[in-house]
């Protein structure tokens, strides 16, 4: 099963970067994957101005936000830089991949 986070923000935090995604797993026992709406990871940077760079947005998506799949190319383009800047860890990315592939 899967759910999609969206473009909007709740209490000023873009939904795909919000720890709310992790709360759904912990509180409701949700065991599926979380996917972003198309390019909503980059929206946190470009439109919401929540973070200063795309790398920060991608890093928050895989770490605090718990967004497993990016519908768009934000993760592909930004995660290598985020890793190089130590904004997230390979363990953060591995957790997202695990959730994405276990539903196959």
Six token digits for residue 86? 């130590």
List 18, 26, 31, 37, catalytic entry:
37
Between CA 89 and CA 104 the distance in angstroms is 24
Residue 64 has a CB neighbour count (10 Å cut-off) of: 17
37 an active-site residue? yes
Q: CA quadruple 100, 18, 92, 59: dihedral positive or negative?
A: positive
Angle subtended at Cα 29 by Cα 39 and Cα 88, rounded to the nearest 5 degrees:
45
Annotated catalytic residues are 37
């Amino acid at each position: 099963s899967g759910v999609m986070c969206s473009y909007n923000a709740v209490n000023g935090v873009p939904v795909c970067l919000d720890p709310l995604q992790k709360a759904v797993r912990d509180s409701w026992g949700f065991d599926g994957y979380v996917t972003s709406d198309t390019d909503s990871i980059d929206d946190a940077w470009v439109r919401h101005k929540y973070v200063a760079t795309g790398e920060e947005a991608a890093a928050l998506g895989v770490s605090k936000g718990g967004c497993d799949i990016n519908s768009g190319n934000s993760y592909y383009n930004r995660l290598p830089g985020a890793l190089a800047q130590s904004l997230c860890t390979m363990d953060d990315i591995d957790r997202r991949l695990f959730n994405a592939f276990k539903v196959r």
